[in-house]
Amino acid sequence: MQKKDIKWSELGFDYLKTDRSYISYWKDGSWDNGALVEEDTVTINQGSTALHYGQQCFEGLKAYTNKDGGIQLFRPEENALRMQRSCKRLLMPEVPVEKFVNACIELVKANEAYVPPYGTGATLYLRPFVIGVGENIGVRPAKEYIFGIFCMPVGPYYKGGMSPVNYITTNYDRAAAHGTGKDKVGGNYAASLLAHQEAVDKGFADCIYLDPGTHTKIDEVGAANFFAITKDNRFVTPDSSSILPSITKLSLLHVAKEYLGLETAQESVYIDKLDEYAEAGACGTAAVITPIGGIEHNGKLHVFHSETEVGPMVKKLYDTLSGIQTGDVEAPEGWITKVK
């Protein structure tokens, strides 16, 4: 397959139209078979619930090229299951796991020319979504839905790649304790835009959200999950009812324990006890792992390992997980779906 003439190593995390997208319609109680299309636009009724009431959800996952030229997806079934939970929360029809995974495979094959070569540091990012559409006006679930997926080659989410960045706490809440924080719905991200911009304007990569109940514990890092390495070498990530269950974080919990021999825990991480942690990071599909240099809270910057160098355990976690994703490290059973 002849690859597109793209400067792979210079890619950022930006939109780029590829040859095909996938789209499927739900009507009269069932999904149709779905199809690959050339268009990168979707036409919907002006009364669609996705536009007015936020009845929509989305996912993010990646396709990777390994050394022998094969292409593989990382844990797509987990994305399918998380999308089902999001759909259920918003009273939308669930997309069957098999339909979701097969659609991802079809889409990657159709856009193989855009899958970055091995060793470039770039990947093919897939964005599945479900939206409520059709003729609606009242606050109620739609009668019709669209399940779509588009993709594009991307580079690092942050321009610096695996370089430590600093964050600052915010007084804004990303999601309520018993709201939609555990679901990947657009409203959570719309609510984060102002806090993110204020953090960037102050010179930080993003903001740190504290628990909505007491504002004493770390919840999330912008649009990513938080983790830390304690000074006695435990892998810790916050336990909260308003945190999106990141597939990257769940994978890191396994990698930390089974590959690196660390004790792991999901527990409260208090913002006033950051000196208990030697290293910290943000994790998610887009960024994989972003090392956290420091966190500013109430005007004071707490620095973890370093503001300029990646900590040794964060680097081991990154190298192991990215090695699994690209096929350089043997993956746990069921984590890899071969495309070709």
Residue type, position 237, single letter: T
In sequence order, what are the residues at sequence separation of 6 or more whose Cβ sits closer than 8 angstroms to the Cβ of residue 240? 177, 181, 211, 217, 219
pLDDT, tens digit (0-9, with 9 covering 90-100), for 241-262? 899 999 999 999 999 999 999 9
Which residues pair with residue 167 across a beta bridge? 206, 295
**Average of per-residue pLDDT values in the chain:** 96
Average pLDDT rounded to a whole number, residues 203-208: 96
Q: Which tokens sit at 300?
A: 């004071």
- Average pLDDT of the segment spanning 136-160: 92
Alpha helices in the chain (DSSP H): 49-52, 76-89, 97-110, 186-190, 193-201, 247-254, 312-326
Query: What's the confidence (pLDDT) of residue 88?
Result: 98
Which one-letter amino acid corresponds to residue 214? T
Asked if 293 contacts 310 with a C-beta cutoff of 8 angstroms, the reply is no
Looking at residue 287, its pLDDT comes to 79
Residue of 170 and 162 predicted with greater confidence: 170
120-129 pLDDT, tens per residue? 999 999 999 9
| Distance, first Cα to last Cα, the chain | 12
Helix axis angle, 247-254 to 76-89, nearest 10°: 130
Is pLDDT at 219 greater than 90 in this prediction?
A: yes
Is the distance from CB of 83 to CB of 183 less than 8 angstroms?
Answer: no
pLDDT band at residue 20 under the 50/70/90 scheme = very high
Per-residue confidence (pLDDT) for residue 334, from 0 to 100? 97
In which residue are the tokens 């810790």 written?
A: 236
pLDDT confidence of residue 1: 82
Q: What is the pLDDT confidence band of residue 156, given thresholds at 50, 70 and 90?
A: confident
Q: What is the mean pLDDT of residues 162-170?
A: 95
Per-residue confidence (pLDDT) for residue 291, from 0 to 100: 96
- Judge contact between 337 and 101, C-beta under 8 A: yes
Give residue for tokens 């679930």: 141
Rounded to an integer, what is the distance from CA 248 to the centroid of its chain? 8
Strands 21-27 vs 288-297: parallel, antiparallel or unpaired:
unpaired
**How would you classify the pairing of strands 61-65 and 123-133?**
antiparallel
CA–CA distance, 227 with 164 (Å, rounded to integer): 14
pLDDT at residue 68 above 80? Answer: yes
Q: What is the DSSP letter of 80?
A: H
Residue 303 pairs with which residues in a beta bridge? 294
Between strands 21-27 and 30-31, the pairing is: antiparallel
Euclidean distance between CA atoms 16 and 152, whole angstroms: 6
The fraction of the chain above a pLDDT of 90, given in percent, is 94
pLDDT digits (tens, 9 = 90+) for 75-111: 999 999 999 999 999 999 999 999 999 999 999 999 9
β-strands 263-266, 234-237: how paired? parallel
Give DSSP secondary structure letters for 12-30: -S-----S-EEEEEEETTE
Please name the residues in contact with 284: beta carbons below 8 A apart, sequence gap of 6 or more.
Answer: 60, 157, 223, 224, 225, 246, 248, 249
Question: Looking at residue 58, what is its pLDDT?
Answer: 98
Say if residue 161's pLDDT is above 70.
Answer: no
- Report d(CA 157, CA 297) in Å as an integer: 24
Is 90 exceeded by the pLDDT of residue 159?
no
